[in-house]
Structure 1
Amino acid sequence: MWKELRILLLGEPKVGKTSLILSLVSEEFAEEVPLRAEEITIPADVTPEKVPTHIVDFSSAEQNDLQLYQELSRANVVCLVYDLSDSDTLVEVQNTWLPVIRENSLHPMPIILVGNKSDLVGDSQMDDILPIMNEYPEVETCIECSAKTLKNISEMFYFAQKAVLHPTAPLFCTQTGMLKNDCRIALARIFCLCDLDKDGMLCDDELSNFQKICFNTPLASQSLQDVKTVVCKSCPEGVRDGKLTVEGFLYLHSLFIQRGRHETTWAVLRKFGYSDNLELTDQYLYPPIQEPPPDSACQLTNDTYKFLEIVFRTHDRDHDGFLNQEEIGSLFSVFPYDPWGPDVLSTVHTNSQGWISLRGFFSQWTLTAYLDLPRTMEYLAYLGYSTLTGRQSQAEAIEYIALQPHSGKRKYIHAMQRKIYTCKVIGPHGVGKTSFLQSLLERKGVAGGSEFAINTVSVQSHLKYLLLHEVDSTELLESGEGALTCDAMCLLYDVSDAESFQECVNLYKQYVANTNIPCLVIAAKSDLPAAKQHCAVQPIDFCRSQGIPPPLKFSLHTKECSQTTFQTVASFAAHKKGLSSYDKFSFGTWFKIGLFTAILGVIGFTIYKNTSHRSQSLTFTRAKF
């Protein structure tokens, strides 16, 4: 929004520029007028648009061409004044002043043609202005006024403000009498966002909701009927089955502009984030976000997931629980480009036809928020998140949560609040890392695909998002420890390949051993006969020596095994047990087990001796009798 405006008055000498300014300020006609008025500043609270306004007078008698060009560079709008009683001054407007303004303005300058001294003429001369307006589209409007009688003085300066704050030029072509293409595209997108049931029309409830969003008040039932009646008269295809079509919606805005109410159209456009050049503003797309607390991660709020669920179900036209390609195309029609590439189909859960499920849809949004927060803000803006939900901005769609929780009960609460846990997957080439990722998505035998896989996994009866990221050893070498930022690490080896585990040992020592990242060893292809590893230490002994849990068996061919593995990985990541804690856990647990076993042994031996002694006594007694 504009912080201030500068209105520059130009025209031939003695047309009354200075008188117009003085009449506005003093509200009476000044008989004695200086050659040039000093710059006037009108406070925001006394202007209709609530914007501070500077009014600048130019006098060719006191100022030179250089000063004219300087003033033009600073002005936002020009009031080009001519004398209604002197036709030569209008000729100079067309032959001199309009070309000068056009040639020396740094940007297209809106112009208000002002015919002064209407008290000296009888009839209006507006017909003489129309050819000029057709030749110079930058002329927003024209007005006839009188500094002497104060006729239309306030209106003249209001039109000047309006020409800057609500310009006609980006919206409407006066030569063709039609909305410009960029305006049509923007309004059609807004129509699509407000079409909540996606039937291609706005029903009464949707129209009333649109009115409430843009103007903070719903439309009365009679007003709704009046609107549709007006549309039907000149645009029969604008109403169908009692509902407003996109053609009718565009016609209404064309009508607003032609009737001089283009501020109405601008109010709609700006509510949905559009700038004066009809592009979504950076402030709308990328709102300021609070500085994240130390050691914290960003995630979507529960309310955001509710909004996304509404978006999903609205576009799931056949109600089958999946978005097919046509439905995805409809959803992304409000985007300037396709935000999801083909990789998404190998990153999230889909059905066998490649249609995205609701959890796959949620998963992709969760992944985007984790990897690229600015892009997430942009995507939510395209969906109209803040406007449709009444939020200040997309910044309210996210929350921060600490990555290093406290111990005890608060640690458990933290684990339940976090929505996503990340795990890097490393291992030798050909061990099945990609298959491991695809198995999380309940798929088998998928070649290539994304380096990410994300799906929901149950952690202590709570659904969490587990994000697996396949990392190549070359990437580790290039990125160093930064490539290992995650909640847990999965180190894969092939049980059927005797050479597989040695490379895992090398990867562990080189990249994992000196970090605090908890690590799990995954025994992949566990349905195959296990080979003794050609390694100085076997997998189970290696895990014991490093304080790592025993290898987890994993097989693509056993669904239960796969689900159990991912639940274990997610729980492992959620509880953040690093190597040192596992060392203590192993030693303490085995010590207690050993001590408990020894005690049981002593008790058992004592019971045995007592039982044996009583048995011998009983035998002796019986023999005696």
Structure 2
Amino acid sequence: MSSGDVRLVRILLVGDPQCGKTSIILALVGEEFPLSVPPRAEEITIPGDVTPEKVPTHIVDFSSQEQDETTLSEEIVKANVVCVMYDVTFEGAFDRVVSYWLPLIRNSTAGGLPKPVILAGNKCDLPYPVETQAQRVQELLNKFTEIETGLESSAKDMHNVSELFYFAQKAVLHPTAPLYAPTSKQLKPDCAEALKRVFKICDVDNDGILNDQELNDFQIRCFDAPLQPNALTDVKNIVMRNTETGVERDGITVEGFLFLNKLFIQRGRHETTWKVLRKFGYSNSLTLTDQYLQPMFSFQPGSSVELSKTGYQFLTDLFNKHDKDGDQALSPLEQEDMFSVCPDFMWDDQLVSVTVETNNKGWITMNGFLAYWSLQTSVDYTYTAQFLAWVGYPLTW
């Protein structure tokens, strides 16, 4: 799912009277500067088939002439992202953003997730103090972490009109807030844990390093294209220049993998990290989606569900990956390693020991492992599906 759990993007434009937000909306729709501007633009729907992410987008205008503050707060709550616009030529406009608009948005969403904000200085076709403005915007970006980006715009010369709505949609579909903490300049804990799970799954030989083949397989799985040899070299060089332990034995370590994703985000390419996370089942809240964990199968009443040949092969490879000593049994430490990508152990050792084959130490064998999941599938296939999802089966449902 390319857009996580988002089915619709609702963009709300707010700002002081005469800041030009209605003109921006009409300029987007008419592809030219509007000669006649009403107090408020009608709600506009952009069909999903004309957007890059294939997600419908609603654009909502707010007018203090026609609506009150209660309605404004309600619209803020309903919106997925708020574009705060101000007139760069009006000296007090920026102060209003700081003293009124941003606190209002925070107060309207108190107790919930922060509402992403796009800051737009409009009427940049007219003279204004550029350097002072840029400095103040940067200070605001550092202070208010919900601001995804700041840009200048002009409906009159069509400057950044479509870009404004592109960044607004991006802030919803590829939000920065769940991934990165601007103040500490570090990945957020949930993001780091999710990426560690991805790394662990892609580390096929379980040696703590992504070698060239594993990196190439990861690239194909996430981006449908192989890595070029020179690109591999460039990636390793970047990691080596910026980390002490990011590259070992000519492969990328988990530290290097986390650094690369942090670098993507810092360079404004957080959609790259989101594409990776969504390939491995994550929603915008960085939890695995219900669709990923509990796929719906269609079969006739009275039918049974069995593992396919591909499923058996995946489980065989998974067993061998974690059977580090090659004794054809999973020790407690090896089991712990296997379940480290899951929320908890997904079986009861005592039940396993009396249900399927184990060795003389009570450790599950290869035959017992395959038999356990075969039995589990026939009893409750949804549990097997959850296990396969957590350990990284390349889902196609």
TM-score range, shorter chain: over 0.9
Q: Tell me the distance in 2 between the aligned counterparts of 1:23 and 1:179.
A: 38
Contact 1:273 1:284 in 2 (8 A): yes
Q: Kindly provide the amino acid, as one letter, of the partner of residue 145 in structure 1.
A: S
Instruction: Write the mapping of 1:380-399 to structure 2, written as runs, cut at 5 A.
Output: 380-385=388-393, 387=394, 391-393=395-397
Q: Tell me the distance in 2 between the aligned counterparts of 1:103 and 1:274.
A: 29
Q: Tell me the distance in 2 between the aligned counterparts of 1:292 and 1:333.
A: 36
Q: Structure 1, residues 367-419: CA drift from partner, whole Å, max 9, x if none?
A: 2223322211111111111x2xxx413xxxxxxxxxxxxxxxxxxxxxxxxxx
Bigger relative contact order (CA 8 A; separation at least 6): 2
Are 1:304 and 2:308 counterparts? no
Are 1:102 and 2:110 counterparts? no
- Aligned with 1:332 (options 330, 339, 346): 339
Q: Kindly provide the amino acid, as one letter, of the partner of residue 119 in structure 1.
A: D
1:264 corresponding residue in structure 2: 272
Secondary structure of residue in 1 paired with 2:241? helix
Are 1:12 and 2:49 counterparts? no
Are 1:233 and 2:241 counterparts? yes
Secondary structure of residue in 2 paired with 1:50? coil
Q: Kindly provide the amino acid, as one letter, of the partner of residue 382 in structure 2.
A: P
Secondary structure of residue in 2 paired with 1:323? coil
Are 1:290 and 2:298 counterparts? yes
2:324 corresponding residue in structure 1: 317
1:278 corresponding residue in structure 2: 286
Contact 1:49 1:161 in 2 (8 A): no
- Aligned with 2:72 (options 59, 68, 72): 68
Q: Tell me the distance in 2 between the aligned counterparts of 1:46 and 1:300.
A: 40
Q: Tell me the distance in 2 between the aligned counterparts of 1:279 and 1:320.
A: 35
Residues 71 and 211 of structure 1: CA distance in aligned 2, closer, same or farther (over 3 Å): same
Are 1:128 and 2:155 counterparts? no
Q: Kindly provide the amino acid, as one letter, of the partner of residue 309 in structure 1.
A: T
Q: Tell me the distance in 2 between the aligned counterparts of 1:8 and 1:272.
A: 31
Secondary structure of residue in 2 paired with 1:6? strand
Q: Kindly provide the amino acid, as one letter, of the partner of residue 176 in structure 1.
A: S
Greater Rg over alpha carbons, structure: 1
Q: Structure 1, residues 157-184: CA drift from partner, whole Å, max 9, x if none?
A: 1000000000000000011110000000
2:251 corresponding residue in structure 1: 243
2:186 corresponding residue in structure 1: 178
Q: Structure 1, residues 319-359: CA drift from partner, whole Å, max 9, x if none?
A: 12111112111111111111122312232211112222111
1:88 corresponding residue in structure 2: 92
Q: Structure 1, residues 510-538: CA drift from partner, whole Å, max 9, x if none?
A: xxxxxxxxxxxxxxxxxxxxxxxxxxxxx
1:599 corresponding residue in structure 2: none
Q: Note the C-alpha offset of 1:28.
A: 1.8
Q: Tell me the distance in 1 between the aligned counterparts of 2:87 and 2:256.
A: 42
Q: Structure 1, residues 438-495: CA drift from partner, whole Å, max 9, x if none?
A: xxxxxxxxxxxxxxxxxxxxxxxxxxxxxxxxxxxxxxxxxxxxxxxxxxxxxxxxxx
Q: Structure 1, residues 227-266: CA drift from partner, whole Å, max 9, x if none?
A: 1111111113111111000001000000100111000000
2:119 corresponding residue in structure 1: 113
Contact 1:15 1:116 in 2 (8 A): yes
Secondary structure of residue in 2 paired with 1:218? coil
Q: Note the C-alpha offset of 1:84.
A: 1.1
Q: Note the C-alpha offset of 1:131.
A: 2.9
Instruction: Write the mapping of 1:430-469 to structure 2, written as runs, cut at 5 A.
Output: none
TM-score, structure 2 length as denominator? 0.94
Are 1:53 and 2:53 counterparts? no
Structure 2 unmatched ranges of 5 or more? none
1:40 corresponding residue in structure 2: 44
Q: Tell me the distance in 2 between the aligned counterparts of 1:71 and 1:107.
A: 15
Residues matched between the structures, number:
388
Contact 1:168 1:257 in 2 (8 A): yes
Runs of 4+ aligned residues of structure 1 deviating over 3 Å after TM superposition are none
Secondary structure of residue in 2 paired with 1:129? helix
Secondary structure of residue in 1 paired with 2:304? strand
Q: Note the C-alpha offset of 1:15.
A: 0.9
Q: Note the C-alpha offset of 1:107.
A: 4.3
Q: Kindly provide the amino acid, as one letter, of the partner of residue 54 in structure 1.
A: H
- Aligned with 2:219 (options 207, 211, 222): 211
Q: Note the C-alpha offset of 1:122.
A: 5.2
Instruction: Give the root-mean-square deviation of aligned CA atoms.
Output: 1.5
